[in-house]
Structure 1
Amino acid sequence: MRRTVKHPDDISDPQDRGRRAPRRPLPRWLPLPLGIGIGLLGGVGYGLTATPQYTATSYVMVVPRQGTDAQTALGFAQAYGRIVTGSAVLAGAQAATHSAAADLKGHVQAATSPDAPMISVTGSSSEAGTAAAVANGVARSLAAVGNRDADSTGVRLLVFAPAAAPAAPSSPSAALSGAVGASAGGLLGALTLLVRPRRQDGAGRPDRAQVPAPAASPPASEPAAPSPESSQASEPAASRPERTAV
């Protein structure tokens, strides 16, 4: 009976062959599309699951009284704009908004104009009607607080334009959130490519491009020695001996 001996290099099992086969390295540009994809999914998921926020803005104008110039009214507008989120103003808005002063402070923002005596009061909420109620309640409370000292300040505060319930949320949509997430993911992927170390060869050294050696120039050819016939032909006629006929 003939016995066959299997050579160590002869691998018939596909699993063993797959284990010994060298793994192909991942492409270097993989972090870039991977970051864009992860950022896109995260942004779209946030836009779909986050609670929409509504904002409404009410405007309060500072009007100078008789004997007060416009520059004074502009200065008081800047001062009153800083106390919109104060306890005195928010306490007066609790009844109109049905919210505590501590809760209102995180949903109210104020801004002033450097060239007009006007204060904008912005209220935010997860419901459109509540956002408008917060803005109007705080604006009326600010006007009431300011008018208490109208005789000493020389200015009056009027609610110039009340806030209306917004028709659409001010929070970003799912498409915008996805675009922002994809941009952030692409930026992180690009930074990963920049800081990622270069691939190394088997000796542990980074791969370097092999520069070919310059081609050797052919040796200069030596001038051929003149033949006797050509040297005789090149001699002048005067140096040749004359032959006489016998």
Structure 2
Amino acid sequence: MTDNPGSLGRPKARTRWLPLWTALPLCALAGALAGGAYGKLKAPEYTATSYVVAVPTEKADPATALGFAQAYGRVATQLAVLGNAQVQAGVPVAELRRSVRAATSPDAPMVAVSATSHRAARAASIANAVSRALTIDANRTQDNTHVQLLQFSRATTPAAPSSASPRLTTLVGASAGGLLGGLGLLARPRRRVPAAADGAPVSVPGPAPAADLKR
């Protein structure tokens, strides 16, 4: 088998690879594109919050009201309260359980009922319906607890979404992409030092000493 005469003296083509550090900006760019697309395609979410306050009667003290406020915050998302709120909210209990959250304060006898929805008006309607159902349910036992639950502030229709904006998701995606690219560079296999036949590392001769050059 004879060689091609035209290939004699022609240097072999070498594949040029990009430097390893270019993985960082490329991964950051890919993460930014993915984060921006997620922020654009995902439907915005709105959050509305309603507040109720526990007030002690003549037979109770503020400490008792504070303790019952903590308890009411735990039962606000239970099925008994959500079942009564679904009629006024106009949504099934399953959606209420996904969208409603309750929070309390260790210093104030207040319960914050928050609802999240893709529609701003529905978020406010759900929060008000759950807080009203919680108030009615708690006041049924007022003669025993000596604590009355009152609505402190109604939820209003939010003017802006509470979900992350496309700009924020783009920044988060770029940061995550750059981080993954950096971890990939750190975890890449290292080049091994060539070894001699006896297993010892090959020593690369360095520059000759100045004294040897003068001889």
The within-5 A match list for 1:167-246 is: 167-199=159-191, 212=206, 215=209, 217=211
Relative to the length of structure 2, the TM-score reads 0.87
2:30 match: 38
Partners of 1:162 and 1:99 lie apart in 2 by: 19
Instruction: State the one-letter code of the partner of 1:190.
Output: G
Matched, 1:6 2:5: yes
Deviation track 1:8-31 (CA, whole Å, cap 9, x = no partner) reads: 5245xxxxx7xx311123311122
1:14 match: none
**Compared with structure 1, are the counterparts of its residues 199 and 57 closer, same or farther at alpha carbon in structure 2 (3 Å cutoff)?**
same
Deviation track 1:199-245 (CA, whole Å, cap 9, x = no partner) reads: 46898xxxx99572561646xxxxxxxxxxxxxxxxxxxxxxxxxxx
1:108 match: 100
Partners of 1:210 and 1:134 lie apart in 2 by: 75
Instruction: State the one-letter code of the partner of 1:151.
Output: D
- Secondary structure of the equivalent of 1:29? helix
2:16 match: 24
- Secondary structure of the equivalent of 1:156? strand
Partners of 1:131 and 1:163 lie apart in 2 by: 9
| CA deviation after TM superposition for structure 1 residue 194, in Å | 0.6
Partners of 1:195 and 1:133 lie apart in 2 by: 51
1:64 match: 56
Bigger helix share: 2
| CA deviation after TM superposition for structure 1 residue 128, in Å | 0.5
The within-5 A match list for 1:150-165 is: 150-165=142-157
- Secondary structure of the equivalent of 2:59? coil
- Structure number with bigger Rg: 1
Partners of 2:205 and 2:187 lie apart in 1 by: 26
Structural RMSD (CA): 2.3
- Secondary structure of the equivalent of 1:134? helix
- Secondary structure of the equivalent of 1:93? helix
Deviation track 1:45-88 (CA, whole Å, cap 9, x = no partner) reads: 01110000000000010000102111111110111100111111
- Secondary structure of the equivalent of 1:30? helix
Matched, 1:94 2:102: no
**Compared with structure 1, are the counterparts of its residues 21 and 202 closer, same or farther at alpha carbon in structure 2 (3 Å cutoff)?**
farther
Partners of 1:141 and 1:64 lie apart in 2 by: 19
| CA deviation after TM superposition for structure 1 residue 195, in Å | 0.7
Partners of 1:209 and 1:161 lie apart in 2 by: 79
Partners of 2:188 and 2:129 lie apart in 1 by: 56
Instruction: State the one-letter code of the partner of 1:172.
Output: A
1:139 match: 131
Partners of 2:40 and 2:20 lie apart in 1 by: 33
> Which residues of structure 2 form unaligned runs of 5+?
196-201
Partners of 2:6 and 2:74 lie apart in 1 by: 88
